[in-house]
Structure formats: C-alpha cells, structure tokens
C-alpha cells in the first residue's frame, strides 16, 4: 500500500531522500502519466519522492524541500474547485497565461511512433506574489507549474481532484527572503551603478550557467529521463 505523507496546512512537506548522485527531473509526460495518474487511481508510484501537501494553505515556495537549494520542488495537492489564486502564509500564487496541453506519443505496432498523440493532462503556470495588501504586493521570480489530468470528452471539471506541482526559481538564486530585501536591493542597485560609472569599460565576468543537475528553468526545458522503473 502506498505510504501517504500529508502536511498540515501551510507547513512544508518532509524532504524525500534520493540515493547520492540521483536527481528527480521528470518530463511533463512522466509527471502526468507515471505519477499523477497513478496517484489519482490509488496505484503504487514508481518512487516515493513526491509528498502530499494539505489543500487549505500551500507552503511558501522557499520553504519547500529542494527549492531553497536551487532545485525544483514537487508535491501532490488534492485541489478543490480551481481558484484563480492559491494562497500561502506570505502571499499567493496567481495563474498566468493560458493552460497548455500535455501529450504522449502513441506507439505503432512495430514500436515506432505512429504519429498520433494522446492528450493526458493540462499544465497551468502560476507566478508567486509576495505581500498582503495591494500596495505591498510584489511579483517574484518563483514559478509553479500545476498539472491535472485531462477530462474525458463531455465530462465537466471535477470539484475535487489530484494535481501535481513543480516549483522553481527562474533565475536559480533561491533563498529565503527577509523583511529588509526591498531596501537592500535598492541600495545595492545604486552602488552597482556608481561602480559601473567609475570602472569605465571594465565588465564583471558573467556567472557560469547552471548544470543539468540543479537546472530550474521552465518545466518544458527538462529533457532528462528518469530511471527505467518509471516506465514499467
């Protein structure tokens, strides 16, 4: 029987341990078919690496295991009627843009692609806004992709359904924010402008690009395959 780990409202789920050297970088199709679909059908998962988060209040993104270390964080959520915003202790997630379909390529009799695709899920992008009042709201670089199963033709959207979420920081500079962030960032920007003016044509070396191990770019940019046990 699947071991379910559920957190209290607004609290971060426990960190799921992987063997040294392993990273969890599933594709959109693998998240939907191998994890979300099995979760919704109460079937065993390929690996116990995605915790369950309570629906009442999501944790702040920097409190999710792995997200504060520059990696993507994942969790299941039994979502009620789809709200436009998902609230946390420090702000809320707001949907941006249009939903995107998730397809799988069907295999032909010989094992090669048949050219046909099957719609298996829908992906929604959300941005995290920090603050409480309208005057203090700030859109951050935290991004969440929420996946749900595609409804069968003619079926209306369920009032309660399982979703799986991927949370990451776009610029890969994950850290816990402080109350002095706004003022310190403004001061730092002024100092940088003064230094640039005094330094003439001197340019600071660019930072090295992130490795594939800790890449937290858009979900569609993850092309690494998980272990072969996921496809069984």
Q: What is the pLDDT along the chain (232 residues), one digit of tens a residue?
A: 343 444 554 555 555 667 777 789 999 999 999 999 999 999 999 999 999 997 667 899 999 988 877 789 999 999 887 667 888 999 999 999 899 999 999 887 766 666 789 999 999 999 999 998 777 899 999 999 999 999 866 566 667 899 999 999 987 654 555 554 544 444 444 445 555 555 444 444 433 333 333 333 333 333 333 333 334 4
∠34-36-39 over CA atoms, to 5°? 100
The pTM (predicted TM-score) of the whole model is 0.66
Please check whether residue 92 is in contact with residue 116, taking contact to mean a CB–CB distance below 8 angstroms: no
Distance separating alpha carbons of residues 60 and 37, to the nearest angstrom: 26
Supply the pLDDT for residue 54.
76
Supply the pLDDT for residue 189.
45
Kind and range of the H or E element at 90?
Answer: none
Strands of the chain, DSSP E: 52-53, 73-79, 85-87, 91-107, 113-130, 138-149, 161-169
Distance separating alpha carbons of residues 85 and 119, to the nearest angstrom: 25
∠2-76-175 over CA atoms, to 5°? 125
- What phi and psi values does residue 35 have, to the nearest 5 degrees? -115, -60
Distance separating alpha carbons of residues 49 and 223, to the nearest angstrom: 19
Please check whether residue 63 is in contact with residue 57, taking contact to mean a CB–CB distance below 8 angstroms: no
Residues constituting the chain: 232
Distance separating alpha carbons of residues 14 and 11, to the nearest angstrom: 9
Supply the pLDDT for residue 194.
54
Supply the pLDDT for residue 223.
36
């Amino acid at each position: 029987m699947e071991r379910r780990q559920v957190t209290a409202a607004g609290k971060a789920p426990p960190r799921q341990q992987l063997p040294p050297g392993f990273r969890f970088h599933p594709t959109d199709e693998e998240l939907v078919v191998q994890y979300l679909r099995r979760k919704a059908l109460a079937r065993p998962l390929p690996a116990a690496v995605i915790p369950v988060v309570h629906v009442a209040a999501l944790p702040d993104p920097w409190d999710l295991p792995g997200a504060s270390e520059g990696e993507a964080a994942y969790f299941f959520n039994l979502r009620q009627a789809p709200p436009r915003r998902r609230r946390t202790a420090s702000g809320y997630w707001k949907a941006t843009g249009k939903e995107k379909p998730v397809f799988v390529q069907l295999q032909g009799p010989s094992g090669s692609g048949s050219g046909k695709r099957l719609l298996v899920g829908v992906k929604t992008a959300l941005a995290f806004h920090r603050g409480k009042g309208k005057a203090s709201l700030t859109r951050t670089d935290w991004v969440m992709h929420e996946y749900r199963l595609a409804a069968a033709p003619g079926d209306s959207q369920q009032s309660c359904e399982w979703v799986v979420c991927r949370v990451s920081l776009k610029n890969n500079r994950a850290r816990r924010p402080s109350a002095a962030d706004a003022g310190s960032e403004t001061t730092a920007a002024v100092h940088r402008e003064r230094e640039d003016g005094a330094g003439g044509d001197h340019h600071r070396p660019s930072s090295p690009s992130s490795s594939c191990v800790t890449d937290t770019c858009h979900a569609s940019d993850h092309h690494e395959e998980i272990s072969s046990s996921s496809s069984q």
